[in-house]
Amino acid sequence: MKLIRFASIDGNSNGYWGMLAMFAAFILAALGSSYYMEHNGHWVTGMNNQIVWGLPHVFAVFLIVAASGALNVASMASVFNKKAYKPLARLSALLAIALLAGGLMILVLDLGRPDRLLVAATIYNFKSIFAWNMILYSGFIAIVGAYLWTMMDETVNKFNRIAGFSAFVWRLLLTTGTGSIFGFLVARQGYDAAIMAPMFIIMSFAFGLAIFWLVMFTAYSGTGRDLGDAMVVRMRKLLGIFVAAILYFVMVFHLTNLYATEHHGVEAFILRDGGIFTQLFWIGQVVIGGLIPLALVFAPQLQKCRKSLSLASVLVIIGGLVQMYVIIIGGQAYPLEMFPGMEVSSSFYDGVVNSYSPTLAEFLLGLGGFAVALIVVSISVKALDLLPVSLADSVADPHHKD
């Protein structure tokens, strides 16, 4: 494995500036949507008193979870000493910070009163999982930022292993905290499961790696830099393992719920009787986000095909967003079990499946989070030496033989 040389991209092409302009347009649209919702009130959205977490939360949680997974490549390099991933550790750390920033932007702008973020940042209720996450999010950015510093500055490179291990532990805590938001909500039959935390961790691996591959592939194909087959095969195998693991955890989650009588109602709702949620689960989450990517990834004739891996990554991202929608929106749509075993009805929609129709403003705010993450990465790779000049097999593959 030859010495890796890093360099920034030129970023002078019309395509590069056009890409930045597109991201900026989505960010402006997101800011406009946030102003529209804040100025008029959330009644202009699809959210209501029953479904208080809408489409923006779907995008936000997805990006936060993906941020942890995007760091996986760097973790394998420093914590597990996998030399093949060391050239990509800088981009991995940067993308993790960018994705978290995008997700948090959505959450802040969806608060209705963004200024109240100061309350959450200064007053902590340690019995609340949300207060824990405030610490986890800010700590993640600080620790991963320090980790990136140890990779780029030779004077502090001796602390790289410590910083990498700290970032690895912290990312697990962050994703555990995010999953526990739902796992600790015992009032909602669709949540209330200890397996939520580890399931969110494995989801982060797949979502983050899918985004990482698309960013890396776009950067190398757009700049004409070499990308060897060895790296493509590694990414393909990893993505396949993570997607298969998600399907396994989803299966265990639902089988466990089916074993408990108290969850039979919500399981029937998601798996059979939930209308759009049932369709999204089976078609969007299982088929589009799971089975088709697995077929693309493990097809022997496609092992070195970059386009098929990119398609699989796009499908994993779509499936991930659908999975978040089913978990977050579907979990709120199912009526609260006020009196288990009894039929409840009232003028307050008790016992009624709650309806939700996302609006354009919510959708644009969610896309704005993606745009923030991608514009941060696009500008950073132009300003900093984050990308290896070459990832050809002769350079990046530790087992390559001339």
Q: Which residue has the higher pLDDT, 346 or 252?
A: 252
Comparing 213-217, 227-231, 368-372, which segment has the lowest mean pLDDT? 227-231
Tokens read off for 88: 């990509």
Residue 125 has pLDDT above 90, yes or no: no
**Pairing state between β 6-7 and 387-388:** antiparallel
Per residue in 80-121, pLDDT tens? 888 888 889 999 999 999 999 999 999 888 876 677 777 767
How far is Cα 200 from Cα 56, in angstroms, rounded to an integer?
A: 18
Residue closest to 203 by CA, chosen among 136, 143, 289, 263: 289
Would you state the pLDDT for residue 190?
76
C-alpha distance from residue 295 to each of 237, 247, 378 (Å): 12, 13, 31
Residue 1 has pLDDT above 60, yes or no: no
* 206 contact partners, CB below 8 Å, separation of at least 6: 69, 239, 242, 243, 245, 246, 316, 320
| Residue 340's pLDDT band (cuts 50, 70, 90) | low
Residue 369 has pLDDT above 70, yes or no: yes
* 341 contact partners, CB below 8 Å, separation of at least 6: none
Per residue in 244-301, pLDDT tens? 999 999 999 999 988 887 788 888 999 998 889 999 999 999 999 999 999 999 999 9
**φ and ψ at residue 309, rounded to 5 degrees:** -65, -40
Residue closest to 173 by CA, chosen among 197, 146, 209: 197
Comparing 84-88, 165-169, 175-179, 336-340, which segment has the lowest mean pLDDT? 336-340
| Residue 28's pLDDT band (cuts 50, 70, 90) | very high
Residue closest to 390 by CA, chosen among 88, 17, 48: 88
145 Rama sector, left if φ>0, alpha if ψ -120 to 50, beta otherwise: alpha
Question: What is the arithmetic mean of pLDDT over 190-210?
Answer: 90
| Residue 69's pLDDT band (cuts 50, 70, 90) | very high
Would you state the pLDDT for residue 81?
84
Would you state the pLDDT for residue 257?
87
Q: Which residue has the higher pLDDT, 183 or 325?
A: 325
What are the residue ranges spanned by the domains of the chain? 17-213+229-339+347-387
Residue 131 has pLDDT above 80, yes or no: no
β-bridge partners, 387: 7
Comparing 123-127, 219-223, 284-288, which segment has the lowest mean pLDDT? 123-127
Q: How many CA atoms lie within 13 A of 316 on its CB side?
A: 36
Contact status, residue 177 vs residue 35, Cβ threshold 8 Å: no
Contact status, residue 368 vs residue 108, Cβ threshold 8 Å: no
**Over the chain, what is the mean pLDDT?**
88
Highest-pLDDT range among 109-118, 173-182, 346-355: 173-182
User: For 17-213+229-339+347-387, which CATH class?
Assistant: mainly alpha
Give, to the nearest 10 degrees, the angle between helix 160-183 and helix 89-109: 30
Residue 178 has pLDDT above 60, yes or no: yes
